[in-house]
Structure 1
Amino acid sequence: MTEEGDQEEQAILTWARNYAKKHHWVLNPDEKKLGIVIRGLARNKQKYGEQYCPCRLRSGDKEKDAAIICPCIYHKEEVENDGSCHCRLYFRQDASNE
């Protein structure tokens, strides 16, 4: 990855940590899996101009795809009900060790 890509990944990771903290969640404690999601977000931001969820398929319709820009419209309900979001980026604190 380029230096610009590394900076983008670091910026997204910092943003994700702050977002998780604000909601009393944690990021995926598995550093390898966390890195994969962060790299996917950075790659989508560089390629498409938005940090689309790397775990969901884009339709190509910007209006429809707005729903899957991280944090997607589904994440809060998923974390609440399942303990983590679909991408396994955000976890409830009590679910991060399961």
Structure 2
Amino acid sequence: MTTIKEVRAEIEKIDHEIIELIHKRVDLAEKVLESKQKEGMQITDKGQNHVVLGRAVDAATEKNLDTSSVKEIFEILIRMSIERQHELSGEGNLP
């Protein structure tokens, strides 16, 4: 039988993995920005944002997760990436 302490330790490990994945995702904003600048694209790409959100909702549906909550999480991730791109381009005010 698993104790609550063991379950919480597993949750903590997963939380750290999630943070690491968010960090990796935000770090990719620099490569995305470089590509967008080369192609003369704007930082905000509503079409791609729609694709990402659709993909997240589809994956959440497959896993039987609350799709509206997953969509909110991905909206935050998209916003973090856009903010990072603005900051890297000199337009933002984030650290």
| TM-score, structure 2 normalization | 0.30
Using CA pairs under 8 Å that are at least 6 residues apart, name the structure with larger relative contact order, 1 or 2: 2
Which has more radius of gyration?
2
| TM-score, structure 1 normalization | 0.29
Relative to its length, the structure with more strand (as a share) is 1
Relative to its length, the structure with more helix (as a share) is 2
